[in-house]
A and B are shown apart, each in its own frame.
Chain A
Amino acid sequence: MWKFIVRRLLITLPQIILLSVLVFLMAQMMPGDALTGQVDPNVSPEIKEQIRERLGLNNPWYIQYRDWVAGILQGDLGQSFRFKMDVTELLSQRIANTFWLSLVTLIFTYIIAVPLGITSGRYNDTLLDQGITGYTYLGFATPLFIFALFMVWVFGYQLGWFPTSGSVQPGLTPGTMEYVISKFNHLLLPALSMALIATVSTVQYLRSEIVDTKQKDFIVTARAKGASESRVYNRHILRNSLLPIAAFFGWEITSLISGTIFIEQIFGYPGMGALFLETILLRDYSVVTALVLLFGIASILGALLSDIILSLVDPRIRIK
Chain B
Amino acid sequence: MKKVSLSKLLLALMLVFLLVLAACSGSDDEQEDTGTDTETEEGTEEGAEEEEEDTDGLYSIDDFNVDKTNEGEAIEGGTLNYGLVSDTVFEGVLNRVFYEGNPDYEVLKFFDENLLAIDNNFNYTQDGAAEWELTENDDGTVTVTFMIRDNVNWHDGEPVTAEDLAFAYEVIGSPEYTGVRYYYIEDVVGMEAYNAGEADAIEGLEIVDDKTLSVTFTNANPSLLASGLWTSPLPKHIFEEIPIEEMAESDAVRVNPIGFGPFKVETITPGESVTYSANEDYWRGAPKLDGITLKVVAPQVVANELETGGVDVVDSFPTDQYPDVEENLTNVEFLGQIDTAYTYIGFKLGSWDEEAGEVVPDPNAKMADVNLRRAMWHAVDNDTVGERFYNGLRWAGTTLIIPAFPDYHDPTIETPSYDQEEANRLLDEAGYVDVDGDNIRENPDGEELVINFASMSGGDVAEPIANYYIQAWEQVGLKVELVDGRLMEFNSFYDRVEADDPDIDIYQGAWGTGTDVDQNGLYGRSAAYNYTRYASEENDELLAKGASPEAMDIDYRVDVYKEWQQLMVDEIPVFPTLYRAELVPVNNRVTDWSIQAEWILNNSFHEVGVTQEDPVLPE
Contacts and interface: CB of A to CB of B under 8 A. Distances in A.
Interface of A: 30-32, 36-45, 47, 51, 82-86, 93-94, 125, 127, 130, 134, 137-138, 141-143, 145-146, 149, 152-153, 156-157, 160, 164-168, 170-173, 265-266, 268-270, 274-275, 277-278, 280-283
Contacts of B32: 281
A156 B304 contact: yes
B461 to A, nearest CB: 20
Given A84-B249, A266-B298, A282-B101, A170 B273 contact: yes
B308 A40 contact: no
Interface of B: 3, 6-7, 10, 13-14, 17-18, 21, 24-25, 28, 31-32, 34-41, 43, 87-89, 91-93, 98, 100-101, 178, 180, 182-183, 248-249, 254, 266-267, 269-275, 293-298, 300-301, 304-305, 307-308, 310, 489-492, 494-495, 514, 521-522, 527-529
Contacts of B6: 127, 130
**Which of B13, B35, B308: most chain A CB closer than 10 A?**
B35
Contact of A171 (B21, B178, B182, B266): B266
Contact of B14 (A31, A141, A170, A266): A141
Given A170-B274, A171-B293, A82 B43 contact: no
B293 A170 contact: yes
Contacts of B492: 31-32
A149 B307 CA distance: 16
Contacts of A265: 31, 87, 298
A142 B273 contact: no
Contacts of A275: 89, 271
Contact of B300 (A94, A125, A149, A283): A149
Given A42-B521, A84-B178, A282-B88, 15 more contacts: A36-B494, A38-B180, A40-B39, A40-B41, A83-B92, A146-B21, A156-B301, A157-B304, A165-B295, A165-B298, A165-B301, A171-B266, A268-B272, A268-B296, A281-B87
B173 to A, nearest CB: 13
**Which of B89, B93, B522: most chain A CB closer than 10 A?**
B89
A142 B89 CA distance: 27
A146 to B, nearest CB: 6
A314 B495 CA distance: 55
A39 B41 contact: yes
A157 B308 contact: yes
B528 A166 contact: no
Contact of A283 (B35, B275, B297, B304): B35
Contacts of B267: 170-173
Contacts of A142: 17, 21
A270 B272 contact: yes
Nearest to B83: A165
A32 B39 contact: no
Given A36-B491, A137-B14, A153 B273 contact: no
A146 B25 contact: yes
Contacts of B514: 41-42
A166 B275 CA distance: 13
A156 to B, nearest CB: 7
Given A93-B270, A270-B89, A170 B248 contact: no
The A interface is mostly helix, strand or loop, or mixed, namely loop
A82 B100 contact: yes
A36 B527 CA distance: 16
A303 to B, nearest CB: 29
25 contacts: A31-B491, A32-B490, A39-B36, A39-B41, A41-B40, A45-B528, A84-B249, A85-B248, A85-B254, A94-B271, A130-B3, A130-B6, A146-B25, A149-B301, A156-B304, A164-B310, A165-B272, A166-B269, A167-B269, A171-B293, A274-B271, A280-B35, A281-B34, A281-B87, A282-B101
Contact of B301 (A85, A138, A141, A164): A164
A43 B295 CA distance: 30
Nearest to B519: A41
B41 A37 contact: yes
Given A37-B41, A44-B528, A31 B495 contact: yes
Contacts of A173: 267
B28 A39 contact: no
B183 A44 contact: yes
A282 B37 CA distance: 9
B491 A85 contact: no
Contacts of A167: 269, 272
Contacts of A166: 269, 272-273, 295-296
B93 A168 contact: no
A137 B40 CA distance: 48
A227 B14 CA distance: 41
A265 B300 CA distance: 10
